Structure 1
Amino acid sequence: MRRLTFAAASATLALAALTGCGGGDGNDSASKTETYCKDVEAAGKKLSDIASAADLEGVMGSLKKVRDEAPGSVKEDWSTLIKGYESAQSGDVASLDQEALQKAGEKIDKQVKADCDLDMDKLS
């Protein structure tokens, strides 16, 4: 049962995360935005390879790097996704706020499409 619960939580988080990644907000330099977009793409590819809780460990550093590079308009959304992954990683799927994860993913999705011209669904 725990494996099924983890799989469901992982799938939910992966969908939320893979539906978007952010980019520059107009105040970022072109170089920062380019670096950010490359890191978003790399993190998206790693997310598509998640098969177990152990796999999350390797992805967390990439996600935190992206969050730290994110423009202010989506930084909190990245934090929401990271908190979701941390909850799933610890087995605390009951605390996952599905609605907050969905909203964060949608907001990030808009940002990445506008600023990075990436479709995260195609990275998997």
Structure 2
Amino acid sequence: MTENSGGADAERLRLTEYAKAGPEDLLIEITAHKQGLDEATLHLLPTLWFRHTWSWAGGTAVPGLRRTDGAIRTDHEELGPRWLYFAGGPQTLFTENDTNNERIFGSPNATPSTRRRPGAWCPRDQRVR
């Protein structure tokens, strides 16, 4: 399965390809090509997440995520350990999956690291407009 940016240049702008070797083995390859003429940094923000059930399902443990050499390891009560491997030494960002109540509702957040829209993590002067 392939996802792309769509439009007339859909084939030329292919970004993400998925392949499964088995039920527990999924490969996601992200290829991005900057299309503009000016030199610029390209920020990719792949996301790894779990359905947020621990605060409302009662008795469900919060899944753990941590960076290891060349991978992010997840530990989930029902699914067990999983790994997201990556090449190179990219910067990684971990955040909770809780709504930013302070920003949305004006009330205190339960955790200091809340969910934010992906663009919030990119420096404002480097965002695509």
* Normalised TM-score (structure 2): 0.23
Greater share of helix residues, 1 or 2? Answer: 1
Larger Cα Rg: Structure 1 or Structure 2? 2
Greater relative contact order: 1 or 2 (C-alpha under 8 angstroms, separation 6 or more)? 1
* Normalised TM-score (structure 1): 0.24
